Amino acid sequence: MTETTDDAFLGGRVVMRQPAQGYRAAMDPVLLAAAVPDLSKGRVLDLGCGVGTALLCFAARNPDIELFGLELDPATADLARYNADANSMSMRTEIVTGDILSKDHPSLAANGFDRVFANPPFLDRAAGSASPNAHRARSNVEGDASLKDWVKAMLRLTRPKGAIAIIHRADRLDEIVSLLFGKAGEIEIIPLWPRAGQPAKRAIVRARKGVKGGTRMHPGLILHGSDGERYTDAAAAILRDGAPLS
């Protein structure tokens, strides 16, 4: 059995069991969840949900929605189901084991979700050097599904006028925006600055399917203070207190 740890998110409001080795959820899925627009009722889908961190962090501030996750790795999907149960969310959660390239998942109908979000692998196969740890490699470097496939799946599954959100490397923003062009509008780019005055390494892109409206650069979020150790007050409000990233 793979060794696991139990880790607290949102100041302990969400507790996640995850592998002790390989890819481990940290800041990125929490920031992604914070950037997804709130929903009073409806259905949300986390593509490539891993152990369910982004999905359950979003659910912590949206108590009346249906939760769906799609995860390729069966063992990781089982952990996501465990985490939904451990956080008293299993009755409104369904984790599907499968590939984003497949259109045959009965629970994941096209145009079926009010919100679709994803934290896909950051590196394409040409640029990425895979980790010897299979779980980490699968999480960090694209496999059969390219970034284009991820965005295409998000758009297919989101209902008209529904919202999508994706966190990715800042140097791939041009790809993401080009893939959304003509298919989604009201695009917002939210830079995530490591510290004030430093280039953003990651960013979140939000958009709405099938609407008009230009692209807007959001003020973004500075994550750390000048010492590089402590979170800024704005970052701490999201990561520890569960505040949305508006």
pLDDT tens-place string over residues 121-137: 987 767 655 544 454 44
Beta strands in the chain (DSSP E): 4-9, 14-19, 43-47, 66-71, 93-97, 113-118, 158-169, 184-193, 202-209, 216-217, 221-222
- Cα dist. 33→72, 102, 204, 226 in Å? 20, 24, 10, 26
pLDDT tens, residue by residue, 199-209 = 999 999 999 99
pLDDT tens, residue by residue, 54-67 = 999 999 999 999 99
- CATH level 2 (architecture), domain 4-171: 3-Layer(aba) Sandwich (3.40)
pLDDT tens, residue by residue, 49-106 = 999 999 999 999 999 999 999 999 999 999 999 999 999 999 999 999 999 999 999 9
CA 164 to CA 116: how far, in whole Å?
A: 5
Domains in the chain: boundaries: 4-171
Amino acid at 221: L
Query: What single DSSP character describes residue 195?
Result: S
What pLDDT sits at residue 7? 96
Residue 188 tokens, joined: 């917002």
What pLDDT sits at residue 129? 56
List helix spans (H) across 87-142. 134-140
CA 226 to CA 73: how far, in whole Å?
A: 39
What are the backbone angles phi and psi of residue 122, rounded to the nearest 5°?
-80, -25
